Amino acid sequence: MAQNSPALVLGTNSFIKFADAQVYFSGRFGVADWLALSGDDQYRALITASHKINFMLKDEFKLGTITTYSDQLKNATCEMALYLASDSANSDLANTGSNIKSIVADTVKLEYFSPVSGTKFPQMVMDFLIDGELMDSVIGSGGGMIASGTDGLSSFDSCDSLTVSSGLGS
């Protein structure tokens, strides 16, 4: 069964117009995977990339609905589409972080103080999102939540959405 041609609609299912994506890719090195896609699959890659970025920003980082389509957001969408074009399995990748606390091999033990952070997205996508200030409220612009070394109740500024009400020693 043949798929219908997709409709790419700015603000509805995409953060970028197709013509703008073509301009972006015309000036980027290493776009063979993008160019290998049919026109319809290029539309699909942009739509899927927009959805993945939207889900991350809304669900993982609780940033709400995106209403401004900055150049950095458009560039991030193109980079995500290129990542998807390089291997369609990339659309199903999970977070690459790790909650491993320690690793032991013979007499060598490696212990992590905190989980290793990771993301579902290539670094270039994250760089554009950070540069575009979409994630300032998450990664901070000098502020943020930090707690260290007490068994008492910690208090945070208004960005705290956690519900812990007592320290670890309780």
Residue pLDDT, tens place only, 84-130: 998 766 665 554 455 566 677 778 777 766 655 555 678 888 888 88
pTM tops 0.75, yes or no: no
Phi/psi of residue 164, nearest 5 degrees: -70, 130
Specify the pLDDT at position 128.
86
Specify the pLDDT at position 71.
92
- How many CB atoms lie under 10 A from the CB of residue 85? 24
Specify the pLDDT at position 18.
95
Percent of the chain at pLDDT > 70 equals 61
pLDDT confidence band for 82 (50 / 70 / 90): very high
What are the start-end ranges of the H helices in the chain? 18-26, 32-36, 39-55, 71-86, 123-131, 136-139
pLDDT for 142 beyond 60? no
Specify the pLDDT at position 147.
46
CA distance 23 to 27: 7
Q: pLDDT for 20-62, tens place per residue?
A: 999 999 999 999 999 999 999 999 999 999 999 888 888 777 7
pLDDT confidence band for 140 (50 / 70 / 90): very low
Query: CA 146 → CA 44, 113, 154, 160, 166, distances in Å?
Result: 40, 14, 9, 10, 16
